[in-house]
Structure 1
Amino acid sequence: MLGRLSSATNQNKRAIIAMSGGVDSSVAAALLSQQSSYTVQPVFMRNWDTRDEYTHSTPGGVKGCEWEIDYANAKAVCTHLNLPQPQLVDLSSEYWLRVFSPSLDIWRNGQTPNPDIACNRHIKFDALAHKVLKGDDDVLVTGHYAQVDTLTGTLSRAVDRNKDQSYYLSAVNKNILNRVLLPLGSLHKQHTRFLAHSLNLPNANRDESMGICFIGERRHFGSWLDDYIHTKKGLFITPHGHSLGEHNGLHHYTIGQKARIGGVPKKLYVAAKKGNDVVVVDSPQHNLLKCKTIITHADINWLVSMDHLPNTPFEATAQVRHRQLESRCTVQVEHDHLMVTYQHFEMAVAPGQTCAIYMGDVCIASATIDKTISVDGILH
């Protein structure tokens, strides 16, 4: 099931398994311990503590125990599997500086960041890897649903297309991927849950975690951000510039979401941001929401050698959200950025998000979306 993991040549090599307290990483640890000759060392990352929020928000309602609950679950699983107790690795400072603070800057600019992608790039597969991978043969193991060829460092989609998380890994530096093992890449989520029950894991019935790690599934996300971002009010406007009312800050809105405006009974949708104003339209299928072309920032993360790519422009597929069906496109490399033009169009593409490029099931590159052009040729 784990392919090269079961090779006898792996004896005495260390596999550092990143435990989250959830089912996926727990099953990955179980498979690793049972079917390989690696010496397994669990670790647990602390990236965020809600008690830190006291310095930014008014006290009250902050329990500060979320990571401790996750850590307790991870320790219980390790005890059950006769593994060493997970080493606690505190990366909260690195997370604040390399993920959270840059994300705040993106929200302030009216764009929509993806902190989970940034966390994988800068924390789990960089800061953590540098702390725990000591020997040349050490490998980092996670519970992600994706596949990595450790000989070539090639990142591919998981077998379970609905669960595939290669999009979340698309910004990870290629140089680390040949030291990464993803045991769940060949499994379907349903089978992972079955294994958790068959192994009697203490967290087998735990719900799947969702949401950004420092927010989880809290409601009123925009209001929470108000504690960190100075609110600069602006106007809701129509595409023709007619004012419909006042909004409470660009960070409350992302492209495609519903915009609730007092005194306006009909449904409206965020189509663009113009200066400090939010452009709204009356249909989720409005042409302003139909993105024809994406222009990225210069932060291209190539996951394959440029020598293996056809001359540009080349045909590929693009994905801008998790669990989104990829769309056919043409990719043009222009100086230090990508221009991705859809064969048809993609709905509600938000600047600040990540655009991952695929050829077949292989992720070849990713970059942050800077601007978009609608099917009507309007630049946002």
Structure 2
Amino acid sequence: MNKIVVGLSGGVDSSAAAAILHHQGYEVIGLTLWLMKGKGQCCSEGMIDAAYICEQLGIPHHIVDIRDVFQTNIIDYLVDGYSTGITPLPCSQCNKTVKFGPMLQYARENLECDRIATGHYARIQHDPATGRYQLLRAFDRNKDQSYFLYDLSQELLAGSVFPLGELQKSETRQLADKYKLKTADKPESQDLCLVESNGSMRAFLDKYLAPKKGDIVDTSGKILGEHDGVHHYTIGQRKGIGIAAAEPLYVIALDAVNNRVIVGDRTKVTEPECTVERVNWVSIAEPSTPIRAEVQIRYRSTPVPVTVIPLENSRVRLVFDEPQFSITPGQAAVWYEGEKVLGGGIIEQTVNSEQ
């Protein structure tokens, strides 16, 4: 089948992906998900630009209203997480439950199409030996988004195409210019869509979580200052704590139950291991014994050597070769073998977080 549905956010990357496939001879159908009201990509402005791109390319454009799904799976998820003292990562959750899943379902049920494409920078290949679809880093390591895609199932990987995976960002811009796309010079989104539409994460959270004053304490429980809500802080934070001290202080734990922010020196926020839950094994089947890999505990962090120890109930323990700074509950840990994503999951409470 030469038909493919392309998810269009109104940005240059998804626009270029659609144009590339269109010029390769595919029967392209544009699909934009209506996630929320407001400005920015994936919102009102993005839908208008996506519609314009479809008009330029002469392809159909569908808009699917999934605001309720986005509210439940992303907004409620974020608010609940921050209120309990963790720092949730919405992007991987959004990709699986809000974008790829609903897009592929809509394509199959309404458009008689079993493949979708997006403007993500990553690659997919099929391994005949194991029968698994493997997720690989993009050629452009500065734009690589495989970290955010670790939670895609084998079914979703089998039905997905990433036309930009072998391109540099500069090449994407050049192609968008070549095809005279309206979005060719559109600035990139620098933040999460919720941050972009609300101005800051703090402003977004303040719409849902009321200020609640509490104590900032050291590890002995000594009160050092006052905060106006644990949801305004994250593990490893140094700036904005508002306490003068001889040595720099970092947030080392968030105690939502007692409404306390716990701070300490840098050594207190560096740990040798952590546990990870909701693990999805991507390019390989779940191993029964420990494996060696390289792990990223944040999107922009440098991959570091680690031993991944499988546990029960879709969990693993990560033992780092060297202690790592700012391991943050709620964020994703994704482990690789070279350019191949082996698996990933959500960081649980760490030793310091349980104080």
Q: Is TM-score (shorter-chain normalized) higher than 0.5?
A: yes
Letter in 1 for 2:317: M
User: Counterpart of 1:20?
Assistant: 9
2:280 matches 1:301:
yes
- Which amino acid counterpart does residue 29 of structure 1 have in structure 2? A
How many correspondences in the alignment? 346
Task: Find the counterpart in structure 2 of residue 142 from structure 1.
Answer: 118
SS at match of 1:185: coil
Question: AA paired with 1:318?
Answer: V
Partner SS, residue 196 of structure 2: coil
- Deviates most, 97-106 or 75-84: 75-84
2:325 corresponds to 1:350 = no
CA distance in 2, matches of 1:65, 1:323: 22
Assess, with a 3 A threshold, how the Cα gap between structure 1 residues 114 and 261 changes in structure 2: closer, same or farther. closer
Q: Which amino acid aligns with 1:278?
A: V
In the aligned structure 2, how far is the partner of 1:305 from the partner of 1:335? 17
- For the residue of structure 2 that corresponds to 1:371, the secondary structure is coil
Q: Cα RMSD (Å) of the superposition?
A: 2.3
Give the AA of the match of 2:321. Q
Which residue identity does 2:63 align to in structure 1? L
- The equivalent residue for 1:251 is 231
Q: For 2:64 and 2:199, how far apart are their aligned partners in 1?
A: 29
Q: 1:181 aligns with which of 147, 161, 165?
A: 161
1:133-182 Cα shifts (integer Å, max 9, x gaps)? 24776201000000012564211111111110001111122221111000
2:181 equivalent in structure 1: 201
Map 1:237-248 → 2, pairs under 5 A:
237-248=217-228
Q: 1:31/1:65 Cα in 2 relative to 1: closer, same or farther (>3 Å)? A: closer
One-letter amino acid of the structure 1 residue matched with residue 309 of structure 2: Q
1:289 aligned partner, one-letter code: V
Say if 2:122 and 2:145, in contact at 8 Å, map to a contact too. yes
Provide the secondary structure at the position in 2 that maps to 1:123.
Answer: helix
What SS does structure 2 have at the residue aligned with 1:120? Answer: helix
1:261–1:300 Cα change, 3 Å: closer
Distance 1:220 1:40, change over 3 A: closer
The equivalent residue for 1:278 is: 261
TM-score for both structures, normalised by structure 1: 0.84
Q: Which letter does structure 2 place at the counterpart of 1:92?
A: R
Match of 1:32 in 2: 21
Q: In structure 1, the residue corresponding to 2:215 is in which secondary structure?
A: strand
**Deviation readout 1:289-326 (Å, 9 max, x if unpaired):** 213111122x111214437x4x4211011112213221
- The 8 Å contact of residues 259 and 280 in structure 1, kept in 2 or not, is answered as no
- TM-score, normalising length: structure 2: 0.90
- The answer for unaligned runs of 5 or more in structure 2 is none
**Could you tell me the percent identity over the aligned residues?**
32
SS of match in other structure, 1:186? coil
Look up the match of 2:98: 123
Report the Cα offset of residue 366 of structure 1. Answer: 1.4
Q: CA deviation at 1:263?
A: 6.1
Give the alignment partner of residue 222 of structure 1, picking from 193, 196, 202: 202
- Distance in 2 (CA, whole Å) between partners of 1:190 and 1:356 is 27
Q: Which amino acid in structure 1 is aligned with residue 262 of structure 2?
A: V
Q: Distance in 2 between matches of 1:364 and 1:97?
A: 28
Aligned equivalent of 2:311, options 298, 318, 334: 334
